[in-house]
Amino acid sequence: MAGKDKLDNYIDAQIKQIRQKVGGEKVLLALSGGVDSSVCASLLSKVIPGQLICIFVDHGFMRLLEADQVEEVFSKRRLRFIRVNAQKRFLSKLKGVTDPETKRKFIGEEFIRVFEEEAAKCGDIPFLAQGTIYPDIVESGSKKNAAIKSHHNVGGLPKNLAFSDLVEPLSGLYKDQVRVLGKKLGLPPFLVNRQPFPGPGLAVRVIGELTEEKLDILRRADAIFREELDSLKKRPNQYFAVLTNTPSVGVKEGKRTYQPVIALRAVITDDFMTCEYAPLSHKLLSRISARITGEIPAVNRVVYDITSKPPATVEWE
Ligand code: XMP
């Protein structure tokens, strides 16, 4: 599908279909704060005001302030917004886990458990809405990434949930069309223009075992890096920080330190299947390194990842 009129026609047709299908019944949605589920929630809150219930599971692996921002946006819309503060639960489930695939698997499983528990409290709801977009349907047929890492959207729910039908109003759209629709619906730029963010979030950007303290260090380093790159005229397609599990010796105020290394990743890509690392200027990198080590006492060393995909992947885990 291409063109503005076609998008408008598609949306008009979806609005009719949704109203016809759902009638006066309630609809449940697992809202992750990603572009697709956010646009889906926003559309449904306009089309069937008061009938949508959004469950937002805060697993504790979002970026700095992100969970609160999502809550702020959606608690103002005509829907019921339920935030589940499950941070402690996820951390205790992941205690001692270091293997990346096990982390991904545990987070996916725990997410489903939390969602099911919350959904059960909402009573009988016949419809489940999902922010599935057209490439999701194509990709799930081809199983492209399965052998490398188990990508999943937290919010990717099992097929056997007890709903009588699905509502997937974005399933004919590509990502850029979903962003256009999000803008039309008045969603703020930080939601509509979001870079890809793994479902397991920062849990796969803290290498090795997770702790609250490590997540906090990563959140702050990541926020500094993103703030600096956000102000560039020409931005890489995706950029974020990683907390490695390699401590290194350093010196601060004449005293020896032994602290984890922060790695910065910024990539240029069309499709995220391959990528080049972004050639950021040394001046910019120096400023970022000085800010991170200066503003975060727990960090004494910052490195820049200069690997393309392949042989690396975008995420470190
Ligand atoms: P990799 O690390 O496989 O990442 O080169 C390619 C792109 O996918 C994003 N990514 C994910 N997206 N769920 C997602 O929705 C996931 O589990 C996941 N893991 C990686 C990654 O950020 C990059 O944009």
In this prediction, residue 146 has a pLDDT band, given cuts at 50, 70 and 90, of low
Check pLDDT > 90 for residue 140.
no
pLDDT number for residue 292: 98
Copy the structure tokens of residue 95. 């205690």
Ligand 1 and 100: CB distance under 6 A: no
Q: How far is CA 35 from CA 62, 101, 175, 176, in A?
A: 14, 25, 8, 10
Which residue, judged by its Cα, is nearest atom 24 of ligand 1?
196
Atom of ligand 1 nearest to the CA of 200: 17
pLDDT number for residue 143: 58
Q: Which strand ranges, in their side-by-side order, compose the sheet holding 52-58?
A: 80-85, 52-58, 27-30, 127-129, 165-167
Region of residue 172 (phi > 0: left; psi between -120 and 50: alpha; otherwise: beta): alpha
The closest of 266, 258, 206 to 234, measured between CA atoms, is 266
Ligand 1 and 177: CB distance under 6 A: no
Residue from 111, 145, 151 to probe ligand 1 pocket by mutation (most atoms less than 8 Å from CB): 151
C-alpha 258/C-alpha 261 separation (Å) is 10
In this prediction, residue 155 has a pLDDT band, given cuts at 50, 70 and 90, of low
- 78-87, 113-122, 147-156, 269-278: range with lowest mean pLDDT: 147-156
